Amino acid sequence: MLSGTSEKTRSDLGEPCVLLKLGEVVLKGKNRELFERRLQANIKAALSGFDFKADVRQRHGVIAVFLPEGTDAETADAVARRIADVPGLVWIHRAWRVEKDPQAVLKAALALVEGREEIQRKATFAVRSRRRDKRFPLRSNELDRLVGGEINDIYGLPVDLKNPELTVHIEVDRDEVFVFTDGIPGHGGLPVGTSGRALVLMSGGIDSPVAAYRMMRRGLRVDFLHFSGIPFTTSESIYKAYALVRALDRFQGRSRLWVVPFGKAQQSIKASGQDRLAVIAQRRLMLKTAEEVAHRIRAGALITGDSLGQVSSQTLQNITAQDHAVELPILRPLIGLDKTEIMAEARRIGTLEISELPDEDCCTLLAPRRAETRAKIEDLKQIERRLDAEDLAVQLADSLQEYKLDA
Ligand code: ATP
Ligand code: MG
């Protein structure tokens, strides 16, 4: 981005930093400080892989991450990209911090424009200034004119205030001025941890990773629970779940994957003879087990990737039968989405190609020829009495294994 920048212009630019625009956090009234503090902690944690300590500072309505002097452009870009994964932010800008002096601002703006490819093609530009500190000697439109006039004089770029191809942003804060051009869009939402903890039922499929992402973005820290068909299937589905959790970990850090060997329980369900109800009975047993695990890890909700009507277990009646299996709320962020929408999101967050790898899902052990679309709760309860489902759920939770993500 700034590879053509000479030593001289570098010193004109000031100090490298990353400027972050907050999403809904700014609406949080009295809790705002709590949210901002959580967001800062999440940003620091996200940067723990870099070999320097970034200085994260709250400014008026924005967060600034100051980088050590002499940080090269590639590292600064990498920092910005890493921070862009942290929920709660809407824009991430690679910026320069300069003194609160109009001449210093002008110099930095010119240095930023120098070497840009837009100059060759005489692209349109605009300067957009904002004064968060009204004591600055120039008003924002005066600053726009000062900087815009010089860029126009020196480089001959035409101004287009409506639809510029290049925008120079200038933001005057209490202690400094930030100057920047482009930005990376963030994921928006709320900082992970501000809504509590929940447990995601994580298959190796396309939907549940997207559901997990959506709820992390609403401020939940999530743990992941996978049911494998072991000992009647291979460990493939566990590897997939593991790979998915790794891919999702960048949104929250310190993710935990829990695996329950579910094959024998499935055999018992199958042996109960109610072929058409087997899938819903199995789903209810998964939920009961998940609820038991949730209590142990202090999670306040379960999350699934259900989407209304997508498969026979997801009819309104069958979803109702699942809700009745547990007391914890079941969050279903994908309930109203089409498969194409879910797939597009999976592609965007990088989980689709992992989900599309072949595996031996535990559900295939039970696939009946015709699945019930209108399961009656009384019939399910009858199967469960025979299975001793409540005890079985506790036993299954006892057989839980944690898969640690290596660094
Ligand atoms: P996915 O793509 O998430 O697997 P799906 O369209 O295949 O969803 P189902 O197989 O009916 O739909 O599963 C519905 C939900 O039940 C999943 O989104 C997931 O939350 C949960 N689930 C299904 N199988 C498992 C499993 N083996 N381990 C944990 N959760 C599961
Ligand atoms: Mg599935």
Q: What is the pLDDT of residue 30?
A: 82
pLDDT value at 266 more than 70: yes
Considering only CA atoms, which of 110, 184, 172, 194 is closest in space to residue 146?
Answer: 110
Instruction: For the beta carbon of residue 62, count every other beta carbon within 10 angstroms.
Output: 20
- Span from the CA of 397 to the centroid of ligand 1 (angstroms): 18
From 206, 207, 222, 287, the mutation candidate for ligand 1 (largest count of ligand atoms within 8 A of CB) is 207
pLDDT value at 369 more than 90: no
pLDDT, mean of residues 250-276: 93
Ligand 1 neighbour 363 (Cβ under 6 A): yes
Considering only CA atoms, which of 194, 172, 169, 199 is closest in space to residue 24?
Answer: 194
pLDDT, mean of residues 22-31: 82
Q: What is the pLDDT of residue 364?
A: 64
Ligand 1 neighbour 257 (Cβ under 6 A): no
Q: What is the pLDDT of residue 90?
A: 97
Pairwise CA distance, residues 392 & 230, whole Å? 16
**How confident is residue 198, by pLDDT bands cut at 50, 70 and 90?**
very high
Average pLDDT over all residues of the chain: 92
**How confident is residue 190, by pLDDT bands cut at 50, 70 and 90?**
very high
From 202, 208, 226, the mutation candidate for ligand 1 (largest count of ligand atoms within 8 A of CB) is 208
Q: What is the pLDDT of residue 273?
A: 74
In contact, 393 and 285? CB cutoff 8 Å: yes
Domains belonging to the chain, first-starting first, are 7-185 (3.30.2130.30), 197-404 (3.40.50.620)
Q: CA 31 from chain center: how many Å?
A: 21
**How confident is residue 9, by pLDDT bands cut at 50, 70 and 90?**
low
Pairwise CA distance, residues 105 & 118, whole Å? 20
Considering only CA atoms, which of 154, 68, 70 is closest in space to residue 109?
Answer: 154
Pairwise CA distance, residues 241 & 257, whole Å? 8
223, 312, 337 from 346: Cα distances, Å: 19, 22, 12
**How confident is residue 4, by pLDDT bands cut at 50, 70 and 90?**
very low
Percent with pLDDT over 90 in the chain: 79
- Higher-pLDDT residue of 52 and 208 is 208
Q: Which atom of ligand 1 is nearest to the CA of 303?
A: 20
pLDDT, mean of residues 258-263: 97
Percent with pLDDT over 70 in the chain: 95
pLDDT value at 255 more than 70: yes
Reported as type and span, the H/E element at residue 291 is helix 278-297
Task: Name residue 236's amino acid.
Answer: E
pLDDT value at 366 more than 70: no
List CB-based neighbours of ion ligand 2 within 5 Å. Answer: 203, 205
Ligand 1 neighbour 226 (Cβ under 6 A): yes
Which tens digit of pLDDT belongs to each residue from 307-332?
998 888 889 999 999 999 999 999 99
Nearest CA to ligand 1 atom 26: 203
Q: What is the pLDDT of residue 54?
A: 85
- Span from the CA of 248 to the centroid of ligand 1 (angstroms): 17
Q: What is the pLDDT of residue 2?
A: 46
Q: Among 299-308, 364-373, 395-404, which stretch is predicted with the lowest mean pLDDT?
A: 364-373
* 3-class secondary structure per residue, 209-222: HHHHHHHHCECEEE
